Structure 1
């Protein structure tokens, strides 16, 4: 199902978010799930340790390139756990949350936890807001036709072809996250930025030492490209279906907490395997409504939320993975359509 990002004129009746929140709490779906997250953390550490051990044992072998694929999967899963930690799904108190966040983000993945928290909180507060949501602000990709119309030169070329370039560009997403983390920490504003910079240094030094102590320079370069490229694609494919191509809200709609989160979000239909692969982000509607809800409870909350939305005439969008990616690509193509038409007219 594809929906234009431009604001819809129809405004559903008052949503009654407080009523839904009471029902969710009465079902116990906001309670912590420490056992689940303990197992997940241990599994991630075992997976990471297994990859590192295999790299040491297969020293200087081209078979190590297969481990780059495995490491990309483990890194993404660590990222998903860091996401849950940042939303206080794992622990409520600040200190354990910070320690777990720094471990999963800075030490294990080379990303700034503080930078990501600020960016992600802004996204949750203003989903699909073209001026406030950092995930849809104009950059290499543009998600609004009006913003695309002013792009010229190389930027205009990118926008005209952004649908076909979308997946190739995701190969650079992990690099973009690393660079953005370092740039953010080099400026004042992030709490404990000295600690975060130190931990990023630990990660990058450890990563380089691991590669150069187990491979030749050529193998290390190929490994790095495979690992970081696939990690970027994995993360990008996990986040892209959630909001891209969904509506931009009117001020009246955005003021309603349920409408603001539901209308701008898209769920990806699937089963337990997809839940694991996407780190629970396929339940994007439920996650945005209740961001501190532990990941395993999202599946249980989904029928409750969907039934509530239907009874209150609030659009609830759910699609298969293929349909979700199709909607994203169609939207990106539509955004660049006017530039392509202008180019065709100028060339003719």
Structure 2
């Protein structure tokens, strides 16, 4: 059954700053956010259905008396009296969100609707983890928040792209119609410890392949670009956006504007891991964006936020994490009585 976990404790610490609900809290980003909120003195209720989240991401948080976990799918309504809500619940890699496109769409739309209803009822501030994918394969570079995007509503990525676009519309509509205090962060490529080894996104794929000595798979000719934000920087952006004293009801890009080609990333991972892996090229997937780089002018001006972790520094920490994840279990620990 794995390590037991605490369920919701209705009599949680009343001295905590805020009572915060984190949907998708057992995931890569969600677990880092829960940790940041707990260290800030908040009471945290973590929701997750474990579609991609993992209990092992939360083990170190169980020592906090102000932390509770509830297994729940936000497609179904839920009722907790809270001050703040962070909605991070949705598979974020193409490998996982394309596995069940209908549920991905339902999570983005029905899940957002249920959490917005909760926010409206308790007058809670609510944060939506949106995505740079709403820009699609962009015709504008870098991408500012004012760009409407170039998204294929019938493509294999549409369940995620259009789901997140629809969620933004719901957030705006609840603010406009019911006065809900909303915050929307558009996340660009993010990496770091607690990513799954089977995550399917470019940083984790390259690191895992390099550590295993396998060929590193580059889709397309490798000239497509990405901007990689380390998880600590991203969570700081979330925190500043949510806690800004100035009402920000429009989306804000949160990402690192440093731009690299996919081939450059592959070469850097090989060099940093000392791997003998070779780069092999495969056909570019349908609707895969050719350029991705955030314009973070709004975040800099309104939040005073800019990423500080260089790619080399972030990759070093991420590689160390995956080395530990892939390390063989010792024979003594593997013995089963």
Report the TM-score, using the length of structure 1 for normalisation: 0.28
For the pair shown, which has the larger CA radius of gyration, 1 or 2? 1
Higher relative contact order (CA 8 A, sep 6+): 1
Q: Which has the higher helix share?
A: 1
Q: Which has the higher strand share?
A: 2
Report the TM-score, using the length of structure 2 for normalisation: 0.29
